[in-house]
A and B are shown apart, each in its own frame.
Chain A
Amino acid sequence: MSEIQSAPPMSQPPLPLQGEERHRSRLRRRSMVALLATLVCFAAIAGQLVRLAARAPPEIRVAMAEPLARTFARPDIVDRAGRLIAADVAVHSLYADPLLILDLDETLEKLGPTLPGLDTADLKKSLADQSRRFVWVARGLSPRQAQRVHDLGLPGLAFRTELKRAYPLGALAGHLIGTVNTDNKGLAGLERMLDETGRVEAVQGPGRVPPEPVRLSLDVGVQHALAEELKQASLRYSASGAAGLVLDANSGEVLAAVSLPQADPSRPADWLDPALADRLAGGTFELGSIFKALTVAQALESGSADLERVLDVRQPLTVGTYTIKDLHPQGRPLTVREVFLHSSNVGAGMLALEAGAERQRAFLGQFGLTEPMRWEAGPVATPQLPKNWGRIEAVTIGYGHGLALAPLQFAAGMAALVNGGARVTPTLMARSDDGGARLRVVSEATSAKLREIMRLNVTNPHGTGRRAEAEGYRVGGKTGTAEMPGRGGYQEKSVISSFVGAFPMDAPRYVVLVMLFEPRTGDTGGDHITAGLNAAPATARVVERIAPLLAVLPRRLDARM
């Protein structure tokens, strides 16, 4: 205001105006700042709106909708033709939050009749514990059961969708498929392998795009036919168990593998029951005379013998303190071919003795029979080799004793003998090729001779395998009746009777192994339990049934022209 007082009159612009001007500019500046601040605020709000609209974080949404859903998604398992063996299905699992339950007794009273089989006493204990916020009540309910529980309208109960493994074929192929636990994690067999090889995915609830199914080498039809025939053979010959295998002689693909009694994949407890153990891959056995095929093959391969060479088998074979006798001595010298046909222990022992322990071990090693093996359904039972592999052991192994093998591993060895001499690794996975270049274990010539004597063993009226003939399908093979080791040595009346063969023998496509455990009788009745009377005819029935499924034409067709 002092400026106004000292202002000169009129000659200059009035001073009060000057003051007003300054005042105004200050006001303008202030309103400008306020406006700017408002704009910044609006801009911030607008920016936030854009941000929120542009990307709502999806994790938050899922987490709010499915607070606990986390389950394991497994690929489907199908057979070689795409038929379903195992699949995931969504099921409803009921859980409770003890804090939210209003009346525990009423809840249990209503749940009891709705869910039969519910252990209410045990559940009451868990639900009474208020420190817990999550208690499973029942898992894997059917949609109808879930609806009924839902309709009860009980507070504190809620559902969560989980994946559960379904096995539509029941126990068929159970031993191979294995089993999973309640969380859908693999415990045994192929299922476990899927976990170990990263094929199983942890997911937030079901509904994901299903991954490529796992395609097996199995043929469900062949698997069923084999299981049925083995069941009937077990009944017919009063056997305590049975096992059978159908193997592609070239690719090693397993078309069917059955061990009776079967284990059910939907019952994990079956895998803890030794009575239900898989006999094909999970156990080792002294296989007896079917092993002579390998002994003869080695003699042929080393050039120490051809099929016409004569062996003097009239006397028992004595090695150290052991004496080996033939069950049905022929009373005359036999050719190598006849040794195979009559299944002479003395003859096989002599051939093995000639080869010696070291070369025998090396020969079997070429087939992989002395090494532990793994396949897609887990580890195969480790071969039981003699501690000291000397002359005596060489002789007993020559006719199939003193060395115990998983039948699966042995069958793969037989496949190499008949397929022209290429080593075979058994597999459960469908193969598109035949494995490419493979190790040769015996020559073409040796393989051809083996095919000849195996076929002869079925066509010759004196052959032990004559009852294995399946009209038109040209079966060839070898019988074996192995006494089972028991308390105080081998038990004469407790045997594993088996037949290993291949068909069609002129160009083998499939190797078949049939084993009967502790049969009490054979085709001729009474207590004649040798393999020629039970395992061999059982094999004929198996081949007659599976050959049409495998598109093997009967020879009759070619002959009638």
Chain B
Amino acid sequence: MGMHRAINLVLMLATLASAVALYAVKNDTRRLETRVAAQERALERARSDVAVLTAERAHLSRPERLEPLARLIGLAPIAPAQYMRLDRDGTR
């Protein structure tokens, strides 16, 4: 009789304890998930920023824009006369 009551009590407490523990774990999981989601969003934003910046850089370095700028500072396509061999005679 007394033993039964003790067992019941223990079981009851165990059930309650596990429920509380589960709730705590679940709560923890939820918090972690929120953090993961936030990190994922940050990653997505970063990725999207990288894509935009890469496109921007390609746009700014497009030859159509660079050519006039290069010519402005006196550059031009290389002419055959500008080549020189370095591995023979003393013309280096």
Q: Tell me which residues across on chain B come within 8 A of A473, comparing CB atoms.
A: 80
> Are B77 and A548 touching (Cβ within 8 A)?
yes
The binding surface of chain B is classed by DSSP as: helix
**Are B77 and A53 within 8 A (Cβ)?**
no
Find the B residue at minimum CB distance from A54: B29
Give the shortest distance, in Å, between B40 (CB) and chain A (any CB).
8
A50 touches B22 (CB 8 A): yes
The answer, among A45, A49, A172, for a CB contact under 8 Å with B62, is A172
Which residues from A are CB-within-8-Å of B52? 89-90
Q: CB of B35 within 8 A of chain A?
A: no
Assess the A168–B11 pair: CB atoms within 8 A: no
Chain A neighbourhood of B55, CB < 8 A: 84, 87, 89, 166, 168
Contact partners of B48 in chain A: CB under 8 A: 89-90, 206-207
Determine the distance from Cα of A554 to Cα of B48 in the docked complex, in whole angstroms: 45
Residues of the B chain whose Cβ atoms lie less than 8 Å from the Cβ of A50: 22
Say whether B81 contacts A52, CB under 8 Å. no
> Do B59 and A224 touch across chains, with their CB atoms under 8 A apart?
no
Task: Find B85's partner among A39, A45, A90, A557 (CB 8 Å cutoff).
Answer: A557
**Inside 8 A of A225's CB, which chain B residues have their CB?**
63, 77
List of B residues within 8 angstroms of A228 by Cβ: 67
What total of chain A residues lie within 8 Å of the partner, measured CB to CB? Answer: 45
CA distance A166 to B83 in the complex (A): 39
Give the complex CA separation of A450 and B44 in angstroms.
Answer: 57
A533-561 residues at the B interface, CB under 8 angstroms: 544-545, 548, 553-554, 556-557, 560-561
A35 within 8 A of B: yes
Q: How far is the CA of A39 from the CA of B48 in the complex (A)?
A: 52
User: How far in angstroms is the closest Cβ of chain A from B21?
Assistant: 9
In this assembly, does A88 line the interface, its C-beta being within 8 Å of a C-beta of chain B?
Answer: yes
**A84 to B50, alpha carbons, bound, how many Å?**
13
Give the chain B neighbours of A220 by CB distance below 8 A. Answer: 62-63
Q: Nearest chain B CB to A541's CB is how many angstroms away?
A: 10
Known: A42-B19, A207-B43, A561-B85. A87 touches B11 (CB 8 A): no
Q: Is A160 an interface residue (CB 8 A)?
A: no
Interface residues of A in 197-233 (CB under 8 A from B): 206-207, 209-210, 220-221, 224-225, 228
Flag B73-91 by CB within 8 Å of A: 1 or 0 each.
0000111110111001100
A131 to chain B minimum Cβ distance, whole angstroms, is 34
**B47 and A84 form a contact (CB under 8 A):** no
Give the size category of B's interface with A: 35 or more
Q: Check A358 for interface membership: any CB of B closer than 8 A.
A: no
A261 is an interface residue with CB less than 8 A from chain B: no
> Is A156 an interface residue, CB under 8 A from the partner?
no
Give min CB distance, B57 to chain A, whole Å: 8
Q: Does B39 contact A (CB under 8 A)?
A: no
Contact status B54-A471, CB under 8 Å: no
- Docked complex Cα distance between A544 and B45 (Å): 45
8 Å CB interface, B1-52 against A? 8, 11, 15, 18-19, 22-23, 25-26, 29, 33, 37, 40, 43-45, 47-48, 51-52
Docked-complex contact A83 and B58, CB < 8 angstroms: yes
Q: Which residues of A have CB within 8 Å of B23? A: 49
Per the bound structure, the CA–CA distance linking A88 and B83 in Å amounts to 41
The 8 Å CB contact of B78, one of A52, A87, A548, A556, is A548
Contact A557 B77 (CB under 8 A): no
The reply to whether B22 and A53 contact each other, CB–CB distance below 8 Å, is yes
Cα separation A560 to B81 with both chains bound (whole Å):
11
- The residues of A that contact B22 with a CB separation of less than 8 Å are 46, 49-50, 53
Give 16 CB contacts A-B under 8 Å. A42-B19, A53-B26, A53-B29, A84-B55, A84-B57, A89-B51, A168-B58, A170-B62, A172-B64, A207-B44, A225-B77, A544-B80, A554-B83, A556-B81, A557-B80, A557-B83
Interface residues of B (CB under 8 A from A): 8, 11, 15, 18-19, 22-23, 25-26, 29, 33, 37, 40, 43-45, 47-48, 51-52, 54-59, 62-64, 67, 77-81, 83-85, 88-89
Known: A39-B11, A556-B81. 19 other contacts (CB 8 A): A52-B26, A56-B29, A84-B57, A89-B55, A90-B48, A90-B52, A166-B55, A168-B59, A170-B64, A172-B62, A172-B63, A209-B47, A210-B51, A224-B62, A224-B64, A471-B80, A545-B77, A548-B77, A548-B78
